[in-house]
Structures are given as structure tokens and as C-alpha cells.
Amino acid sequence: MQNKFKTLLAVAAFSLVIASCKKNKEEVNANEVITTVQLQLTPVGGGTMLTYKWEDLDGAGGSSPVIDIITLAPGKTYNTEIVIFDKTKNPTVVTSDEVRKEAIDHRFYFEPAAGSNITVSGLDNDPNGIPLGLKSVWTTGAASTGSIKITLRHYENGGKALADLINSTKSSTDAETMFSTKIQ
Amino acid sequence: MKQHILFVILLTAYTAAFSQNCAIGLSGHVTDSDTRQKLVNATVSLVETGKTIITNEEGDFVFSDLCAGNYTLKITHVNCDTLLRKIVLSKQLHIDVSLPHAVNTLGEVTVTSLKGIQNTGIKKELSGKELEETRGLSLAEALSKMNGVALLQTGATISKPVIHGLHSNRILTINNGVRQEGQQWGNEHAPEVDPFIADNLVVIKGVDELRYGSDAIGGVILVNPKPLRHQPGYYGELNTAYFTNNGEYVFSGMFEQQLKKQPAFSYRLQGTFKQGGNVSTPGYRLNNTGIKEQNFSLTTGWNKKNYNIEAFYSQFRTTVGIFSGSHIGNLTDLRTAIDASQPADIFLGDKTYSIKRPNQDVIHRLFKVKSSFYSGGSKFNVLLAAQYNHRKEYDVQRSSSSNKSAQLNLSILTLSEDVSWDHPKVNNLQGTVAVSSMQQDNSYSGRYFIPNYFATIYGGYWIEKWAKHRWELQGGIRYDFKNIATKRLLFNGAPINNDFNYSTLASSFNTLYKINDDFRVNAGITLANRAPYVNELLSDGIHHGTATYESGDINLKTERSVNIAASLNYSNKAKTFFADITIYNNSINNFIYQQPKPDSPVLTIAGAFPLLKYQQTNALLRGTDITLSYYFFQHLELTSKVSILRAYNRSIDDWLILMPSDRLSNELAYKFKDKGKLTGSYMSAEVATVFKQTRVPSDKYGKQDYKAPPAGYTLLNLNASTTINFSKLPVTFSLGARNILNKRYREYLNSFRYFTDEMGRNISIRVKVPFEKLLH
């Protein structure tokens, strides 16, 4: 009889485990996902601010990203600011604010393709005086078509130094966006 | 040459040990636990010494002239179950032993005294001295001591066993009788089992694998604790270990007792604490490679003449750091990391135990109740088990980020029920008929890798074993029906539901023929079918460790394996030469593997990731394991092991990726005579060679790997152990040294071969203190 009792006890324990089983939650994308890299270019000497973005709202895989073509006027200078969003969160997370807070662990690299006739200079610095790149100055040359690659590198363990190249093994890539460019 | 000199020095040190006379007597009285009658003609042997005595008319036996130490007493009788009992001998000792009556042999005169018939297919076992040498290592590392078992690793701290080229969901791990249901599908998901639970570790292929599932294409690993205590009194054991490479220390304790006033009740408590710091390669130390483990278990048993019940609860918990230099942003980063000769200094040099992001935190709880009832020669077993596995993976994140939770959260709850009937023995035929079912609920939060799902399995099996004279025949069949209902709850989207049904059949047949007492041959064929696992069907996401984008395929069919294996065991009459040879030919249709698609990278905001797509092919894995040992004289033994595997992708006439290369090991062991207070002393030196894997997929369908396989390597490993008998306590001291020459090398089956060298020299010191009290 006793064994039957114990078996019953075990079954009861089982039911308890099942009952305590929690409900499934809605998917959350990886925190720190970056959906949008947005460029805000303000022409020096007046003119409306131009906005171009590289956006992949559903993250890796799924539908293809939407990539604007950067169209600029020849022979002009633009004060450029980068804003990064995570639009999978509600409210939208402005990731570039976090990057600014951790300026000493981040760095943007700008790589215009040859013949694109875009020069990027005047990168803002982090508190240690090492380039950050959230703000930069773009100068355009003659009319052309080309591309520019903008890469955000993250120095997770610190150690960011002036001489670090884009492929420094101290850092890893947070964002790597390739825009087509047109100067007309 | 260096190693030879060291060997001689250690040898001399050992022989110069102090002395004491070995004149302790051990006497005992054997009774049948059911009839309470004395047992005449029971065979009593002391396993360590090889001494064997038959009990006299009074059921008594006497051993004399024994040295103090730890012994295993093995008692067998035609009508009874074999009893193994550990004893600690420090002074004259008398013990009373009662042997449980074997149900299958009730009232019969039989030729076999074994309890049940062993699995006669492929069987490899790790116990005793060999198991002791692995104390403090992970389950997979311990298993890799067996010939034919390799390791699939993610750095030095995450490893899983590979049996004859197969791993993960193709291997079933049976933890104390229960099929382990964790997150076994990932290459960086190690088995969640504390090896200190085990009294022996066994790998089987053949008829007995049908007890656990129809999907054991690669075999079954049994983690067997020793049976609960039969005799009144208590026994306990303390194990400690220290490893120099990463400053790892391990404490493990076990205490078991049977109360004299309540002879039906016995229990065992067991616990392990382990902590290791950052791992050092010969040239540099890798940051964030620490490990921490806290495990415990409780077993209680109630043992009566007609039934017994055992309840078991265990908890395994581990936190493992993932080397920061292996966290890769995208394909460009991976290439840069691979091209560097060593990781950037920023990831090196910390000597600490602290674990930062990225890391894994895994907890596994198991509760089981097993009951057996005896009636009219039959035995009925009911096994109920509940398991809960929770895996959290923490990624690198910005330190200002407010969200401190895990990026990947997987939890899986599994309930299983098994009812089996061991039918009475008829005409040398023993068998089991059983039905089983399982319910599994998997849920995730955070980053998507596999969906939520609810799976149910219904199955049944029938196994028969027949033994007579020189022959043993075994056969069995199993059927399972599996339903998987998956649900992916998209952010900002409608849920994606899928429903899968699989019927899987397995069967096995095996023949053993004993040519004579020293020569056995064995041959068998096993059919197994494995339903695709959820990750193979529906995974979809970035795998950071390897900078790949993995994508499943919902149209995958079940994998079907036909494995033909044969083995040969031989020893010469003088017992100075032993040979154990296994050959196998495992033909797997619809073999599921990941095919790199170099032409279609997945574009993400963090750059491009190469795509890996789950695909099916027809595969053939064939190979051999050879173990030979030879005694030059009584105390000096040479053991050679060879393991060879050829794994073909038959559909495209190519090799399969990520298969173990050929291995060869030679071990020379010297066993010292017991002398004075020292018993069971030995030392051994092993030269282990792993050859370069040259059989990898060609690039005819695009690039298949980022880096060519690393060169082969040879390691020198040492082991030494002795038991010193301090008045009442026989304390065992062991010394182990792995990679004693501090060789720099990389292993093909370690995904970190892209980034770092393997662990350098690692010297371990172990102390084992057993204690026992007998009540009469």
C-alpha cells in the first residue's frame, strides 16, 4: 500500500511541476540590436539638412535592409552627425546616446571608395582626445558616383588608441554600413 | 629523453618508500538476504588483489596477510545478485554480508550467476583507477579517455563528447537511468552532468540503447552511480583536486548511510564545488575563460523483499566565461582574428577567477522516482522523471546599457514516464517489454535562435537476450512517435506556428560467441532513426562564436542509420596480453549537417555573415578502435590505443567536415608492490599523438572553412598515485600532468583553433579520503 502512496505522491509532484510551468513570452530581439544608422548632413553656409539612412527593421535575416543613396551637391562642405537607433524597442532606443556616453570605447571609421570625391575630416574626439566620429565634416568634389563605408568599432575591453586601424583586433564591429553616393 | 629521466627519478622516489608489515585479516559471513540462510559456495573476491575464496559450509570466508588500504569486495552466488562493496581496511575486520536474491533465478538451477545479461554490442567502460584520474575534469573530458571518444570543444572550458565522429543530439546521455534532456543541440552546449555522481561511465552501442530511444545513432553514454548502501553503517568520501594551469580547485563530498533500526531505508548525499580561473596557453593567458560549478544530489531508497523505491534529485549549475577575443562582430572581424598569430594583448594576461561577459550560466535540475515490484519471477519497473534546464547566454554589451539580463534565455522542461516489465526467465531467455512517453516544453526569451515548442513522444520497446554455453544472442525493437508543435512569437508580427510529426523505428541484433574463455567475438547490426531537432528545422540567426548565420530547413526528413559493428576480445593464457578490437561501418541516410553557402552571405547592419544552411546527405562513417596491452612483467604494462575514422559525404563524393582525425596513444604504467603503509601505487607516462586532419571537404563547392586544419601534435602526460594508510584513514594521493612539455598546439575539433592555442602544461594534485563505519 505504501508504495502506491509514494507513486501517488510522485504523480502529484509532477502535476505541480507542470502547473508551475510558465507561459511563453513574446520574442525580444537581442538588446543592443542596431536597426538604423542615420546620417544628418547640414550644408555649411545654409541650406536644409539632408537625412539618409541604412535601416534593417527586422534585424539579421528576414526582409532586406532599406539603404538610401546619399546625394550631395558638388564643391560643398557638410557638418555631418550620425544617429543610431534600435527601433525594435518601444520606445525607440537612441543607441548613439550610449555610444556618446562610452565615447572612449567606440570609434567610427569612414572609408569613401576611390573616385567618390568625398573627403571626411574633422572627427570629434572622445574625452581622451582620440577620434570618435559621431560628428564629422564632409567635403565634396566634382560630380561623381561612388560609395562610402561607415563602420562603428567597439572596444569592449577598452584600450582604444590613436593609432588603431579599423581592423584592430582590440575591437569588434557594431555596425558596418555601405552607402552608395552620388554627387550631382 | 627528458621524459625518460623524469620517469626514472619518480620511480626511484617511489621505491624508497617506508615499510610496514602487511598482515591484516579480513573475515566475513555471507547470508541470503531473503531467506536469512548462510550461503555456501559463494565466490568472494578482492578485486584489487585478484584473490578469490569460496565460502565454506558455514558461509564464512577469511582473507589473510592483507595490507591496509581500499578494496572492492565482489561476492557472487548462483542464486543471488552480484554484490560489490567498497571496504576500507586499516585493522583486523569482520563483516557480515547479506546478498539480495536474484529474481530471475528464483527456484531455478542456472548456469549464469550474472544479474541480467550485459549488453554485448560495443561497450566501453571507465571506472576505478582510470575514472579517478579524471576527477575534476568535465564529463566529456573524462569520456575522452576511452578509445574512440574525442572532444568537440569551444575553448578549454566547454567540451562535448564525440563518439565515432558523432555528437550532440546523436548521442544520448543517461544520467542515473534518465535520458538527459538539456540544450544539447549546440556545439557550445556541454552536457549538464556532474561526473562525481558516477561510479562508472559506460558507452554502449547495441541492443540496450533501445531502452533509451530510437535515435541513438552515435551511441549511449551511461552515467552510473553506485547502488545505494546495503549494509547498516555509513560510508563517505572526500575528493579534492587542484590544477595549476588555471588555479582550478575542486571539492567533492559524498556521504551515504543505512540505518540499523530501519534496514529498508538508505540514502546518499553528494555535492561538488569547482572553480577555475583564466586558462593559460604556453605563450599567453586568455582573459575571461574561468569556470564555476556548484552541484549536489540526494538519493534515497526504500528496499523491501517485494519492491523497492528510489528517489533522486540533482542540481547542476555552471557559469562559464567565453574568451572575449572570440566574440566576433562580423566576417571581416573573423578574418582579421584568424590572420593574427595570437589574440590582441587587450584580451590576454589577467590571472583572475572573475567571469565577465560573454558568458553562459546553465542550471539543470533532475528529479526522478524509480520503483520496482517483484512478483512471480517478474519484475515491474516504473520510472518517472522531471527535468528542468535553463540556459542563459550573456553577450558583450555597452557598459552603460541599462539592460543587465541575458541576451539568450532558453528553458526546457521535460517530463518522462517509463513502465517496463522484465519477464521471468524462460529457457535461458530474458527480456523486457516497455512503454514510455515524454512531454517537453521549450521556451525562450531574448534573441531568437530556436522557437518555443511543445513536444510529445510515445514509444515502446521489446528486448530479448538469450545465453547458452558459448553463445549469447540479443535482439530488440523500438518504435517512437514524436510530435513537435513550434511557436515563434515574433516582435511586431503574427506568430509563426509549425507542426511536425515523426515516426521512428529502431532495432538491433547482436551475437556473441565465446571461442574459449580468453577469446570472444561479437557482431551486430543496429538500425536507428532520428527525427530532426528543432534547431535543424527552424534555427535562424547569428552565431557569434563562429560569425556565421545559421538557417534551418523545415523540410528535413528523419536520419536513418544502419550501423554494423564487430569486435574481438582476446587475452593469452598467461594473461600478459590483451587485445580489444572494434570495427564499425555506420551508413547514415539523410545525414543532417551544415553546408556553408559562400555565395549567399547574409547582409546585416553589422556587416556580412556567411550563411550555413542545414542540409541532408548520405554519409558513411567507418573506422576502428584498437586497444592492446602487454605486461612485460607483472608490474610493467604497456597499453596502446589507436582510433581511426573515415567519414564520407557520399552524395557529393567528398569528406565530411569536423570529424576527429586519427589518434594514437601509448601508455607505460608501472605498478608498485604494496609496501608498508603504501598500497595501490602506480605511475604512468602516456604519449598521445593526434594526427593532422587531412580529410576535409574540398573547395569545389565554394570555400568550406576559414582556415586549414592545424598541424598534428604529440603530448606527454603523466599520472602517479598512491594510497597512504594513516592509522584508520587510507588516503589516496594522485598527481597528474597533462601536456607536461608545455607544447603549443591547436586542435581541429576546437572552434577556438581560429583564435588561440590550446591549454599549456596543467599539473593536478588530487587527494581522496574515504571513511566508513560498519554496524553489525
SS (H, E, C) B540-570: EEEEHHHCEEEECCCCCCCEEEEEEEEEEEE
Distance between CA atoms of residues B39 and B101, nearest Å = 11
**Residues whose CB falls within 8 Å of the CB of residue B530, separated by 6 or more in sequence, listed in order:** B169, B170, B214, B215, B217, B504, B558, B559, B561
- Residues facing residue B412 across a β-bridge: B389, B442
For residue B117, pLDDT beyond 70: no
Decide if A32 and B397 are in contact by the 8 Å CB cutoff.
Answer: yes
**Residues whose CB falls within 8 Å of the CB of residue B739, separated by 6 or more in sequence, listed in order:** B715, B716, B717, B758, B759, B760, B761, B762
Residues of A in contact with B396 (CB under 8 A): 154, 156, 172
Chain A nearest-CA residue for B404: A31
Decide if A26 and B491 are in contact by the 8 Å CB cutoff.
Answer: yes
For B:257-296, CB contacts with A below 8 A are 287
pTM: 0.85
Question: Is the CA virtual torsion B6, B11, B16, B19 positive or negative?
Answer: positive
What pLDDT, on a 0 to 100 scale, did the predictor assign at position A30?
A: 52
- Tell me the count of A-B CB pairs closer than 8 A: 161
Decide if B324 and A156 are in contact by the 8 Å CB cutoff.
Answer: yes
Decide if B407 and A35 are in contact by the 8 Å CB cutoff.
Answer: no
The arithmetic mean of pLDDT across residues B574-603, rounded, is 91
What pLDDT, on a 0 to 100 scale, did the predictor assign at position B400?
A: 59
Tell me, yes or no, if B603 comes closer than 8 A to chain A by beta carbon. yes
- Residues facing residue B769 across a β-bridge: B238
| Spatial CA neighbour of A78 closest among A100, A107, A45 | A45
Residues of A in contact with B287 (CB under 8 A): 157
The arithmetic mean of pLDDT across residues B274-300, rounded, is 96
The arithmetic mean of pLDDT across residues B549-577, rounded, is 93
Distance between CA atoms of residues B315 and B327, nearest Å = 29
| Contact (CB, 8 A) for B564 and B583 | no
Distance between CA atoms of residues B722 and B724, nearest Å = 6
| Contact (CB, 8 A) for A26 and B444 | no
Tell me, yes or no, if A125 comes closer than 8 A to chain B by beta carbon. no
**How many Å lie between the alpha carbon of B59 and the closest alpha carbon of chain A?**
33
Residues of A in contact with B403 (CB under 8 A): 31
The arithmetic mean of pLDDT across residues B297-311, rounded, is 93
**Own/partner pairs, A55-62, CB within 8 angstroms, 24+ separation:** A55/A87, A56/B604, A56/B605, A57/A87, A57/A88, A59/A29, A59/A30, A59/A33, A59/A35, A59/A88, A59/B604, A60/B541, A60/B542, A60/B549, A60/B602, A60/B604, A60/B606, A60/B609, A61/B540, A61/B541, A61/B549, A61/B551, A61/B602, A61/B604
Side by side, the strands of the sheet bearing B60-66 are: B60-66, B24-32, B93-99
For residue A8, pLDDT beyond 90: no
Of the ranges A128-137, B73-82, B341-350, which one carries the lowest mean pLDDT score? B73-82
What pLDDT, on a 0 to 100 scale, did the predictor assign at position A4?
A: 53
Decide if A32 and B309 are in contact by the 8 Å CB cutoff.
Answer: no
For residue B384, pLDDT beyond 60: yes
For residue B720, pLDDT beyond 90: yes
Decide if B309 and A98 are in contact by the 8 Å CB cutoff.
Answer: no
Decide if B325 and A174 are in contact by the 8 Å CB cutoff.
Answer: no
**How many Å lie between the alpha carbon of A34 and the closest alpha carbon of chain B?**
7
For residue B145, pLDDT beyond 90: yes
Tell me, yes or no, if A24 comes closer than 8 A to chain B by beta carbon. yes
Q: Helix (H, G, I), strand (E, B), or coil: what is residue B79?
A: coil
Give residue B58's pLDDT band: very low, low, confident or very high (50, 70, 90).
confident
- Residues facing residue A134 across a β-bridge: none
For cell 600478459, the residue is B576
Q: What Cα–Cα distance (Å) separates residue B192 from each residue in A6, B179, B180, B393, B509?
A: 28, 12, 8, 15, 31
What pLDDT, on a 0 to 100 scale, did the predictor assign at position B544?
A: 66
Closest partner CB to B324 (pick from A32, A101, A157): A157
| Contact (CB, 8 A) for B333 and A172 | yes
For residue A22, pLDDT beyond 50: no
Tell me, yes or no, if A28 comes closer than 8 A to chain B by beta carbon. yes
Give residue B115's pLDDT band: very low, low, confident or very high (50, 70, 90).
very low
The ipTM is 0.74
Decide if B386 and A35 are in contact by the 8 Å CB cutoff.
Answer: no
Chain A nearest-CA residue for B372: A3
| Contact (CB, 8 A) for B363 and B301 | no
Distance between CA atoms of residues B372 and B366, nearest Å = 20
The arithmetic mean of pLDDT across residues B328-335, rounded, is 79
Cell of B450: 530556436
Question: Is the CA virtual torsion B755, B748, B742, B280 positive or negative?
Answer: positive
**How many Å lie between the alpha carbon of A20 and the closest alpha carbon of chain B?**
11
For residue A133, pLDDT beyond 50: yes
Cell of B642: 589507436
The arithmetic mean of pLDDT across residues B420-440, rounded, is 93
Instruction: Look up residue A109 and give its amino acid.
Output: Y
The arithmetic mean of pLDDT across residues B736-750, rounded, is 96
**Residue B628, class by beta-carbon neighbours within 10 Å (0-12 exposed, 13-18 middle, 19+ buried)?**
middle
Mean pLDDT of chain A: 84
Give residue B701's pLDDT band: very low, low, confident or very high (50, 70, 90).
confident
For A:145-184, CB contacts with B below 8 A are 151, 153-159, 167-170, 172-177
Q: How far apart are the first and last CA of chain A?
A: 92
What pLDDT, on a 0 to 100 scale, did the predictor assign at position B542?
A: 79
The arithmetic mean of pLDDT across residues B588-608, rounded, is 86
Chain A nearest-CA residue for B312: A10
DSSP state of B284: -
* Type and span of the H or E element at B637: strand B636-649
- Residues facing residue B101 across a β-bridge: B80
Better-predicted residue by pLDDT, B111 or B56: B56
Report H helices in A42-183: 95-101
Tell me, yes or no, if B350 comes closer than 8 A to chain A by beta carbon. no
For residue B435, pLDDT beyond 50: yes
| Contact (CB, 8 A) for B251 and B273 | yes
Chain B nearest-CA residue for A54: B605
Backbone phi, psi, residue B116, to 5°? 70, 170
Chain A nearest-CA residue for B487: A24
The tens digit of pLDDT for each residue in A24-73 reads 455 554 556 788 999 999 999 988 999 999 998 877 777 788 999 999 99
**Helix, strand, coil share (%) of chain A residues, nearest 5:** 15, 40, 45
Distance between CA atoms of residues B22 and B728, nearest Å = 14
Decide if A10 and B602 are in contact by the 8 Å CB cutoff.
Answer: no
* Rounded-to-10 torsion of CA B212, B216, B222, B223: -90
What pLDDT, on a 0 to 100 scale, did the predictor assign at position B221?
A: 96
